[in-house]
Amino acid sequence: MSLGLAIGLVVAAVAITAAVLVRVYVLALRRLAREASLIASANPGYRTDTWRLPPLRGLAVAVNELAERSQAAQEDVAGQIAAAGTELEQERNRLAALMSELTLAVLVCNVQGQILLYNAAARELFGVGREAGVVGLGRSIFGILDRSLFAHGIELVRRAEEEGRHGPRVRLTATAPGGRLLGVAVAPVRGTGGEIAGFVLTLEDVTRRAEAGFRRDALLQSLTEGTRASVGAIRAAIESMVDYPDMEAVEQQRFMAIIREEAVALGARVEAALRESAAYPRSDDRLAEMLGRDLVAALQQRLESDRVPAPAGAEEREERGELWLRVDSYAVVQAATHLVARLRSSAGVERLTVELDAADRYARLDLAWSGQPLDAETLRAWTEEPLGADGGGMPSSVRDVMEVHGGEVWCEADTDGGGARVRLLLPLVESAPPPRPAPARRPEVRPEFYDFDLFRAAERAEDWDERRLDELAYTLFDTETTGLNPSDGDEILSIGAVRIVNGRLLREEIFDQLVDPGRPISPRSVSIHGITQGLVEGQPTINEALRLFARFCDGTVLVGHNVGFDMRFLELKEAQTGVRLTQPVLDTLLLDAVAAPEEQDHSLEAMAARLGVSVVGRHTALGDAILTGEIFLKQLRLLAAQGVMTLGEAREAARSTYVARRSDSLYSRA
């Protein structure tokens, strides 16, 4: 045997031995380390298979013993916590029961507008049709209220807080999605240091009452105009009889008959109007009590936010103490802002002042300047111009705003100052409301749908990839289809989804929608998901279903299992529906390859067994979405243990796995 051959055999033997050692020891150690991490972070009930690791059997047994002790200790601590929290849980259940009985919708949000709490009435108020899904934990209040209207309410609350008027409650009127009119009351929630940490909003659908008020007002206006002719005829007849006392008896009888006929007709019209108006009680839900100086300050703040130079010398002339007005402050500020902008752009007014004082039962809000007054026709045209559709309520012009308040607007010369002014006449409160006492401190309790940890949420950066995984909101979703080939005409039959906010799977916030595919469903497909032709008849088409789903998942990261399949169906419908989901997407199949690369089976069932998740409701879109959500929460812990903390790191890790196949497009969508 030559020396070279001998050396080669030795090298080969060493290589084989090294490979065996690596396989037996190194890979076994690596697997044992991952299983120990799984026990510690995601599934305390998992145990290593000691017979699969012969060289490390003793170490594996020790790991299992430690796991048993750790699980026992965790269960003991959990039991103690449960016992200690029994009283708090009872308080929570009592409050949850109380909240569920309230017919008034209640929302709590933080200063960024994220919803932290809502009751069943709020969910029902926005729980149907196109408005479904706008209320949910972590969702933005701006899906319900216009941002500028909410900012206006916050500014009024803050101003009252700064002046020491604690416990203020601001009333606003807003137009909800779908065109309904809402009465909204806003009150502050204070943090432990006394700072404003959020707001409590109570909402009520006042559309019918408001419409009844408008109809009653229209009826009274019609009555006024209708009686004008009768009154004129009666007056003319009386004046003729007075002016010609010597007229013949026949003529007198004719005029008397006119008076009698018109009087009877007038009485009939009044009686009919009174009967009809009884069904239309006057509604003033849009008007709320507020200090005059708060209205002036709100007008200044609005002008500054619109980059219109604020009026100089804005003041409240307090001739009889503090002026309390009864107004829709948002509508009045809109109207005054519109007039100021018009004065500057069309009349060339560079400097004006705002003055507020009392006149009998009304307050006079004056926009005054040095110069010539406007002619009546110009002002009339300005007051009929639309104020803009930004959700502040039903009035759409300055004239509408004045009608709502029973006020007037006109322009006149200022005889004292030698200038001119536009005057808005607004109603005063009959008597100043008594000061509200500071609310008594109550123990903190947790209602049914809540997440007060969001009180500490800060403004989020727009760059998704830089955000931490535990800070993001997620929509876990799944679809059921007529088949497996979307390019060959297979269609979506069902979309199911559930949300994760602040690390919690919100089972009460779900999306579960059947879809009419517009084509027959094969028996083979029915045998898998159980959706028959009869179930989808009359259901929304994919156009409507995708619009509703897009609203539900807005502002969240999409997560699914083998999600490329579902996304392909959605992407092929973008041109038809006009709906494009642009948020990032994560795939639990690829994340499992990151968290457990040595595993060969990455199915939902295999992952659920490994992570200690019960499999319920498989092969329904909603059931699979919930199962995926429970698995995903466990995966987040495993990723954190491996140092994968941000969305960008998770997407990059998923992209680099050996099972990534052709899902690269999912991880590059903005």
**Catalytic residue numbers, as ranges:** 619
- What DSSP character marks residue 26? I
Number of helices and strands in the chain (H, E): 21, 18
In Å, how far from its chain's centre is CA 285?
A: 22
- Cβ burial 114-150 (10 Å sphere, 16+ → b, else e): bbbbbbbbbbebbeeeebbbbbbbbbbbbbbbbebbb
For 274, other C-beta atoms within 10 Å of its C-beta total 11
Pick left, alpha or beta for residue 537 (phi over 0 → left; psi -120 to 50 → alpha; otherwise beta). Answer: beta
* Residue indicated by tokens 């929509």: 475
In Å, how far from its chain's centre is CA 207?
A: 20
Cα–Cα dist 99/106, whole Å: 8
Residues 6+ apart with CB under 8 A from 296: 314, 315, 316, 354, 356
Angle of CA points 34, 597, 656, to nearest 5°: 130
Q: Coil, helix or strand for 352?
A: strand
Q: DSSP states of 279-333 as a string?
A: TS----TT-EEEEHHHHHHHHHHHHHHTTPPPPTT-EE--BTBS-EEEE-HHHHH
Cα–Cα dist 115/137, whole Å: 5
**Torsion over CA: 594, 138, 496, 510 (sign):** positive
Residue 426, φ and ψ in degrees, nearest 5? -125, 150
Cα–Cα dist 585/561, whole Å: 11
For the chain, the residue count is: 670
CB 332 within 8 A of CB 286: no
Cα–Cα dist 18/358, whole Å: 97
CB 558 within 8 A of CB 586: yes
Strand 324-327 relative to strand 196-205, pairing: unpaired
Q: Copy the structure tokens of residue 398.
A: 């300055």
Strand 419-427 relative to strand 449-450, pairing: unpaired
Q: Copy the structure tokens of residue 499.
A: 């949300």
Cα–Cα dist 511/621, whole Å: 10
Q: Coil, helix or strand for 175?
A: strand
Q: How far is CA 221 from CA 173, 384, 406, 409, 418, in A?
A: 24, 18, 12, 18, 37
